[in-house]
Structure 1
Amino acid sequence: MPGGHDHGAVAPGIAQLGGAFAFSDTVGRTIAQADFRGRWTLLFFGYSRCRASCPIAIPKMVRTADLLRQSGVAARAMFVDIDVPPLGVMRFRRPGAAAAMAGHSGHAHGHGELDRVAAMRALAKAYDGKLIVATGTRAQLSAATRAFAVAREHIPPRPGELGHSINHSSLIYFLAPDTRVAGYAMHDQSVADIERTLRQLARMT
């Protein structure tokens, strides 16, 4: 499993964000840009096995979308797992396979695909249909992270970690019903602040 994930990117300007993107859900169905039309989407890019910013942002997104729907604003929360190994890093099918090959011990990168998919499905199940969990091919995720200026940097294991860590940005993006990026919030802002900002944006559109 990757180590704890940090956040540390400079927030981009709204005009720099957005563009063509596509994902797939946990059973392989395509989620195209057109599927975002007609409602507000709170969108977060991260790692299903993250232990830092992701577990903070996700419940806030789900709660905010709930509150908006209760007041008649069509909204949903969506999490995109971007756990694709950097070029040159092998992806192993089971934990420990990396150590078994080439005589490695204790420093596997933790990119077990079965573990990742299981974590994604567990995350979706935990929110009982209130959170869309998606991912994509390397090409799809590369295009999306460029479009949304998502930073992700693989770094060596820190003391006590078995897998490398990943520094990644932690913005909650607000996609308007026409799919453009209308704004964003930081993962550590309160639900009240996030909801207030989204309501203001909704009134302006």
Structure 2
Amino acid sequence: MKPTWIASTVIIVLLLAVLPLSYQLWPARTPVAAAVEAGTPIGGPFELQGAHGRRVTEQSFEGQWLLVFFGFTRCADICPTTLMQIAKVLDGLGEQSARLQPLFISLDPERDTPEVLAAYTTFFDERILGLTGSPEQVRQVAEAYGVYVRKVPMGDTYMLDHTGSVYLMNPDGELATLISLQGAPADGVRDISAAMGRSRDG
């Protein structure tokens, strides 16, 4: 019994040491949360490229709601999971989905060409529009949305550590709310419908 007690004590001590550090590091990885709390504007003008290198700006979606998510096509977990959830939310919204344009903005312009993105997003739902651009264009839009991104070397390649927030932007280009897609898609449908309803009533 004694070795088990010692092992349990060691695990608890390690957890108590690591958890405060994780708590300190997490805000740095989610600057969007701090920006929202501080009332800092989220979003703004941008110029990116869609399928076939077509120029796309915020004015391309005038009068539409936007569901914006940042990631990259070689992402192994949060990106495909979130895009699958977005596809389910679009189905759940029914006719309301016609008012909503989902955008998947790549944080990896070195590898995510317009053609690569188009094939990737179509796999999840043809309504999801993949956007990329020059490194400077991508950096600018990421900063405007408070997105954290860090390149993590892995042998002769790399992965990206990045913010997983999903932004619901109203037709005026303002942040309506952050949408959580970690639960059931019905929760996302409810939150988006409620935001659209409040805007219409207002």
Is the TM value for this pair above 0.5? yes
1:56–1:187 CA contact under 8 A, matched in 2: no
| Residue 79 (structure 1) shift | 0.6
Amino acid of the structure 2 residue aligned with 1:53: I
CA distance in 1, matches of 2:49, 2:92: 26
- Distance of 1:122 and 1:73 partners within structure 2: 22
Structure 2: runs of 5 or more not aligned: 1-25
In the alignment, which of 146, 150, 159 is matched to residue 147 of structure 2?
A: 150
Which residue number corresponds to residue 98 of structure 1? Answer: none
Q: 1:192 to 1:12 in 2, by over 3 A?
A: farther
What is the TM-score of this pair, normalised by structure 2? 0.73
Pick from 134, 138, 141: which aligns with 1:137?
A: 134
Question: Equivalent residue for 1:119?
Answer: 116
**Quick one: which amino acid aligns to residue 33 of structure 1?**
E
TM-score, with structure 1 as normaliser:
0.72
Equivalenced residue count is 167
Alignment of 1:33 with 2:30, yes or no, is no
Alignment RMSD, CA only?
2.3
Checking the alignment, whether the CA contact within 8 Å between 1:170 and 1:187 is kept in structure 2 is: no
Q: Which residue is equivalent to 2:47? A: 22
- Structure 1 residue 32: Cα displacement: 0.9
CA distance in 2, matches of 1:149, 1:73: 27
For the pair shown, the structure with the greater C-alpha radius of gyration is 2
- Cα 1:196–1:128 shift into 2, 3 Å: closer
Kept in 2, the 8 Å contact 1:53–1:187? The answer is no
Shift of residue 73 of structure 1? 5.8
Question: Which has the larger helix fraction?
Answer: 2
Structure with higher RCO (Cα < 8 A, 6+ apart): 1
Structure 1: runs of 5 or more not aligned: 1-7, 85-110
> Deviations 1:137-181 (Å, cap 9, x if unpaired)?
122111101100111111232xxx652232101011101112211
Moved more, 48-57 or 12-21: 12-21
| Of 146-155 and 30-39, the range deviating more from structure 2 | 30-39
Assess if the C-alpha contact under 8 Å between 2:64 and 2:100 holds in 1: yes
8 A contact 1:49–1:116 mirrored in 2: no
Moved over 4 A (4+): 115-118
Separation of aligned partners in 2, 1:73 and 1:29: 22
2:65–2:101 CA contact under 8 A, matched in 1? yes
How far, CA to CA, are the matches of 2:49 and 2:94 in structure 1? 24
1:53-132 matched pairs, under 5 angstroms: 53-71=78-96, 74-84=99-109, 113=111, 119-127=116-124, 129-132=126-129
Contact between 1:42 and 1:65, CA under 8 Å: does it hold in 2?
Answer: no
